[in-house]
Amino acid sequence: MSGLLLVWQNQREAQTLYTKDLYTKDLYAMDTLFSLRVYGAQGEEALKQCETRVRELEGLLSVTRQDSDVRRLNASDGQNIEGIPVSKDTYSLLSSAISLGAETEGALDITLYPVLREWGFTTGEYRIPEAERIQTLMQKVDYQSVLLKSSMSEGGEGAVYVPEGVEIDLGAVAKGYTGDCLLDILRDMGVTSAMLDLGGNVQTLGAKPDGSPWRIAVRNPFDRAKELGVLEITDKAVITSGSYERYFTGEDGRDYWHILDPADGHPADHGLVSVTVVGDSGVRCDGLSTALFVMGKDKAVDFYRRQQDFEMLLVTKEGGLQITEGLMDCFECGEDWDVEIIYRDER
């Protein structure tokens, strides 16, 4: 009996600690909701610093805000061949995005912004553009045309050249980068347990305060209210791109979604409805989730087998679910899905 009461008391104490030292903050930034959960005595101050950092990054990386680095680059119209000075953050993120573009053979392309705007995905005024209009805009789509002109100066700035007619948008990587920056702040402050949900991009620091892994729901792309399953992770990013996130139904009755294929400027349609990437780096997982969606299943699997630093979960249009071998022991499937395991070594 006394043993039982001891267990009960310990549970109560653990529960008290679990909620007493929890600090939460909801922020609306980067066109989405950031829900931050930080455990520990430093939590309140840590959240203040995180909010300041989010606002700073939003001010630099927004494609619509006046005086943001991205807006200034897009407005430069190729005038300054030496490049436009940008912040350390913008330079660093552009560098990562261009590298990911090269690594994925252009499946991630940060210069699709004019085409995305033509489809109405930046304004909410959705429309199916004329084929000729897309062709014209696609002539300026090429992430390789964006040049990092100088390395970072001591003052923390670099210079970037964006040619005439080219416009960039870092939306495919900005939230992942922001998550990485926030985790840096939390680590520096000695926080050991936190979960950041940046509009569905989840990045975690350590484990839960009781030592157990975080349980991260993966949304069912066919029924947004429900879970496809739950991932149990520690110290990882879990980032999903899906055609269900932002889409419209055209006058022709077909659905058109916001993830465009840099090859033709149309919604990427290679058999996938959702890609979830699990790894250490938020910015890498963020960029890869978009790129792998664009690639489609076969190319995504080939890409996975050439890499060692991420795991993934793919959902096909037909309702198939594929998970890579590294997730086998940490994924609980929510419903009766036909699960296929992808092994790193081809079998």
Partner 1 sequence: MLRLFTGMRDKTINTVLIFSVAVIFLVSLILSIFILQPSQSHMVEIVQDDTVLYTFDMDQAEDQEFTICYDNGSSNTIRIQNGKICVAGAECPDKTCVSMGELYSKSLPIVCLPNHLIIRFAD
Chain residues binding partner 1 by CB under 8 A are: 1, 4, 7-8, 11, 19, 22, 24, 26, 28, 31-33, 35, 124, 197, 215-217, 219, 223-227, 246
CB of 347 to partner 1, least distance (A): 33
Q: Which is nearer to partner 1, 215 or 254 (CB)?
A: 215
Token pair 């879990």 in the structure block, residue: 238
CB of 300 to partner 1, least distance (A): 24
CB of 5 to partner 1, least distance (A): 9
CB of 323 to partner 1, least distance (A): 18
C-alpha dist (Å) from residue 346 to 271, 273, 313, 319: 21, 24, 17, 23
Q: Which is nearer to partner 1, 226 or 254 (CB)?
A: 226
Q: How would you classify the pairing of strands 320-324 and 338-342?
A: parallel
- Measured CA to CA, the distance from residue 123 to residue 130 in angstroms comes to 18
Q: Which is nearer to partner 1, 15 or 153 (CB)?
A: 15
Report the alpha-carbon angle 137-139-142, nearest 5: 105
Q: Which is nearer to partner 1, 142 or 227 (CB)?
A: 227
Give which of 228, 185, 154, 167 is closest to 46, Cα–Cα: 185
Give which of 161, 164, 158 is closest to 85, Cα–Cα: 158
Q: Which is nearer to partner 1, 12 or 254 (CB)?
A: 12
CB of 33 to partner 1, least distance (A): 5
Categorise residue 133: left if φ over 0, alpha if ψ from -120 to 50, beta otherwise: alpha
